[in-house]
Copies of this chain bind each other. A is one copy, B any other.
Amino acid sequence: MTINLPPLSAIRAFEAASRHLSFTKAGDELGLTQAAVSYQIKLLEEKLGFAVFERKTRKIDLTQKGALLAEGVVEAFSRLRQTFQDVQDADASELVVSSNTTFAVNWLASRMFSFQMQNPDIAVRLVSYGPWEKPKFDQADVTISACYPPPKGNLFIPLIAADFTPLVAPQLAESIGGINTPADLLKLPIIDPDDPWWRTWFSAAGLPDADLTKWPTSRMGSQALEANRAIAGQGVAILTPYFCRQALQQGQLIQPFDLVCAANDESWALSYPPRNKNSRKVRLFQDWVVSELGRDGLHCPEAVLIGQDD
């Protein structure tokens, strides 16, 4: 099955030289000197044991065997180039974005249209993952994640601080005569009481021992679903205010306390493997995300290299 080929650089030089019938022109095409091509051809002839070019003065011709070789070699390289071209074209035209559901629903979904209008040559495929899945950093061109640090070596841009505070529908707050102290919250149904954010927030609010066990476990899996239940008046949820701007502005939800906690490691961030550093589609997407955030008054730091693995 496996015949030993001569050195591939020699074959490549031969391929170009056989098309141009000139070492000098072949060198130009390959970005090499004439001497380099001459060297490679000689090497090839050495390996093969026969001449592939006849050296005339100021021109070269393929020998008979050289011509036979050239035919197959040129075709093989043509096939190679075509293959890479095709796949690279396909790659350039499809952007796979992996995002956790929260970000996808609260942020991406409503804005993606603008990206697609700006970049009609790029097809976007959005792959979201739930809160119990790990982001598939390696299967997407770019990933938006929280909680999980990207693999070492990835490029990383913090987007949005994952801060949180209880939010509640105004009618529900009224139903207990208004919410004045953190303890008042415990009079209401707690949406997703297992979310560790609750414990963090109650501790910061001076109630480290708040009993959160009396409500049934029901992790929703995304802030979008929790927010919907809160808006529907089914309970009080712990949410990131930025994602609920609209509901807050429109009065569907209110924020009873100024106390907003921030998760340390759990900011939303955009990241991608280093091989995409120069990828056009990834750059376009990153720039678009950053500019969208800018329109909300949020400014993102530069991309940094992740130095440590999880």
Contacts of A45 in B (CB 8 A): 275
> Quick check: A275 and B49 within 8 Å, CB to CB?
yes
A138 within 8 A of B: yes
Q: A138 vs B54: C-alpha distance in the bound complex, in angstroms?
A: 8
Please give the count of copies of this chain that the complex contains: 2
Contact among B54, B55, B84 with A3 in the assembled complex (CB-CB below 8 Å): B84
> Quick check: B49 and A65 within 8 Å, CB to CB?
no
Over the window 204-242 of chain A, the binary record of Cβ atoms lying under 8 Å from chain B Cβ atoms (1 yes, 0 no) is: 000000000000000000000000000000000000000
> Given A8-B9, A275-B46, does the pair A82, B90 have CB atoms closer than 8 Å?
no
Q: A279 vs B50: C-alpha distance in the bound complex, in angstroms?
A: 9
Stretch of A70-78, A97-105, A180-188, A291-299 lying at the B interface: A70-78
> Given A68-B90, A87-B69, A138-B54, does the pair A81, B48 have CB atoms closer than 8 Å?
no
Contact among B65, B73, B85 with A80 in the assembled complex (CB-CB below 8 Å): B73
Q: A90 vs B11: C-alpha distance in the bound complex, in angstroms?
A: 19
> Quick check: A83 and B76 within 8 Å, CB to CB?
yes
Minimum Cβ distance to chain B for residue A59 (Å): 15
Q: A91 vs B69: C-alpha distance in the bound complex, in angstroms?
A: 11
A5 within 8 A of B: yes
A34 within 8 A of B: no
Minimum Cβ distance to chain B for residue A96 (Å): 9
> Quick check: B79 and A6 within 8 Å, CB to CB?
no
Chain A: residues with Cβ within 8 Å of the partner, total of: 47
* CB-nearest residue of chain B to A29: B2
> Quick check: A8 and B12 within 8 Å, CB to CB?
yes
Minimum Cβ distance to chain B for residue A113 (Å): 25
Chain A positions near chain B (C-beta within 8 angstroms): 2-3, 5-6, 8-9, 11-12, 29, 45-46, 48-51, 54-55, 65, 68-69, 71-73, 75-77, 79-88, 90-91, 138-139, 141, 273-276, 278-279
CB-defined A-B contacts under 8 Å, sample of 29:
A2-B29, A3-B85, A5-B84, A6-B84, A11-B80, A45-B275, A46-B275, A48-B87, A48-B91, A48-B275, A49-B91, A49-B275, A49-B278, A50-B276, A51-B138, A51-B275, A54-B139, A65-B87, A68-B83, A68-B87, A69-B83, A69-B84, A71-B83, A72-B82, A72-B83, A72-B86, A76-B79, A76-B80, A79-B79
Nearest first, the 3 closest Cβ-Cβ pairs linking A and B are A72-B83, A8-B8, A76-B79
